[in-house]
Structure 1
């Protein structure tokens, strides 16, 4: 069973995701981030610039990629799990459950204050619960 953590009420989602990924990487976790191409492009750019004194190592997967490069990258950004072999932590940036999320020990969901994201997040929360996965809710405050 995957443990699912929801972070809701996030005022600035992109910055929060960057900080969450930095914390995960510093703890030694391997994270696969799945989402739409546009969201991944914004995240890829933000991981280079969100903190002027640090770099969060990551790899944006597109097409064929050398397996050894993937193995050395602590954070993978991809549109689908088919390109990723990691089974540690999954961070979902999409509006729906990621097919195959069950192979990850932990799933992270970051939901902003946007009405559409809130509604989609509630639906994913219900789906995880109905599938029997333990769900932890973290309400983010400013």
Structure 2
């Protein structure tokens, strides 16, 4: 069964996603990242520049080929790239087909709106019988 983990109180989503995707990539996993369209370009750029030691190959869905990219960014629609192992969800809904991924990582900011939306997703996953992990990023010092 797909593992589902919520990362709560993420203060700055783009830098957090860069670090998270570095860990996913280091584990040899591929990822689909769903995030608001307003943050897509910022994450795309940050993945090229956030570290001088790391290179995180990635593609933006709908902008060229994603067939071999280990990290695919989209503003919601599923990319034309089968076999992505980790779904990183920063949007309010649960995408169709989430269960095809080994892991789902729900990224939740500190705003009341994001927390309320996350509670709905938490309830839905629970009703479907998934065991959920909770990580409070604020308690970990923003890591």
Shorter-chain TM-score: which interval? 0.7 to 0.9
Q: Provide the residue aligned with 1:129 in structure 2.
A: 126
Quick check: 1:8–1:138 contact (8 Å CA) kept in 2?
yes
Unaligned runs of 5+ residues in structure 2 are: none
Seen in structure 2, the aligned counterparts of structure 1 residues 16 and 82 have a Cα distance that, compared at 3 Å, is closer
Within 1, Cα distance between the matches of 2:5 and 2:47? 22
Q: State how 1:1-142 maps to structure 2 within 5 Å.
A: 1-62=1-62, 65-66=64-65, 70-71=67-68, 73-78=69-74, 79-140=76-137, 141=139, 142=141
Within 2, Cα distance between the matches of 1:51 and 1:87? 24
Quick check: 1:33–1:90 contact (8 Å CA) kept in 2?
yes
Aligned positions, number: 138
* Structure having the larger proportion of residues in helix: 1
Measure how far apart 1:37 and its partner are: 2.4
Quick check: 2:67–2:80 contact (8 Å CA) kept in 1?
no
Within 2, Cα distance between the matches of 1:86 and 1:74? 10
Quick check: 2:61–2:73 contact (8 Å CA) kept in 1?
yes
Greater shift, 119-128 or 44-53, is seen at 44-53
Measure how far apart 1:13 and its partner are: 1.8
Unaligned runs of 5+ residues in structure 1 are: none
Quick check: 1:2–1:134 contact (8 Å CA) kept in 2?
no
Normalised TM-score (structure 2): 0.86
Normalised TM-score (structure 1): 0.87
